[in-house]
Amino acid sequence: MRVLVAMSGGVDSSVAAALLRDQGHDVVGATLKLWGGAGDSGCCSVADVEDARRVAQVLGIEHHVFAYTEEFRARVVEPYVRAHAEGRTPNPCIDCNRFVKFDLLAERARRLGFDALATGHYARIVTRHGATALGRGVDAAKDQSYVLAYLKSAMLDFLVLPIGEMRKSQVRARAAAAGLRTWDKPDSQDVCFIESASGRAGFLGGRLTMTPATVVDRDSGSVLGQVDAAELVTVGQRRHVPSPDGARRYVTRVDVAGRRVEVSPLAGALRTRVELVPGSLSAVGEPLGDGPVWVQVSAHARPQAGRLRLQGNGVVELAVPIRPVAPGQTVVFYHDDAPDIVAGAALVASP
């Protein structure tokens, strides 16, 4: 089988390529040049491209660099900036997977005659009721099914996830045994197009006119303080929230246009309902309908029992209250009778 492996320059995709090569496949590595601006982390840096190239050299496979800077800017960076300007908190890694890596790159792989696209994600390709589906990775601490939840069965049929059955420790050991320079490379934790020194404030501050806002107690309406930039405040946030009386409060609403941020003590901030953006629901395999599901509201959140209701705009009802989920984030559903298999995903609407 001829396989194009997306090589980010990290240990996971390095081992994915090594495993496929060792299995006798015709493997070619491809690293994506996505960000043309400043950046010092993630899969966009010059160092990561060089690491991927050197790994491919050790493995004896071809390696190419594909430039998608304009597409990345239009599909990931600009929506990221626009969402913050509107008081939403997007997930750029999900958008990158959805619109670049598993859209543009997959289409290019097919056009170049490859039989499959492979990545180093911790997730598994499984079958449910005769259709291809997405399963959690064996390593629960590294599972990445959440960030791949928008993939459809047709894409999954073309996808190979070689390390989905492995644990991180096994991946690192395999890389060390193969003499790959990435064997002890730290995992990327940050948004790849944001420099660690300036952070989100520096990135957005160079692209938006920041909006000062008044922080008010949601229930009493009393003014608690000010924030310099409502665009940097996230629903569910508790750090850096003004609190004259020292009580811990959580952000429950961000109104950029109204220059207002509402906060509440934890008891008042907890939610048992998550409203969905109309038309954003995406199912993997079988259609999603009303009924019980397992719900995950972030990449590392603990799954919660809930019920999906599609009447109106769509809503998820949770069995146990959780902190409010920021508008623009993704909520992922797992099957009630198969909690390790993705059922679908949707965007969170404003509370």
Active site residues: 96, 192
The number of residues in the chain equals 351
What is the DSSP pairing of strand 304-309 with strand 250-255? unpaired
Q: Are 219 and 268 in contact (CB under 8 A)?
A: yes
Q: Is 235 exposed, middle or buried (0-12, 13-18, 19+ CB in 10 A)?
A: buried
Encoded tokens for 15: 């081992």
CA 342 to CA 336: how far, in whole Å? 10
Q: Amino acid identity of 269?
A: A
- Cα separation, 241 vs 335, in Å, equals 37
Q: Structure tokens of 127?
A: 């079958």
Helix 168-177 to helix 11-22 angle, to the nearest 10 degrees?
A: 70
The Cα–Cα gap between 199 and 197 comes to: 6
Measured between alpha carbons, how far is 333 from 90 in angstroms, rounded to an integer? Answer: 18
- List phi, psi (to 5°) of 54: -70, -40
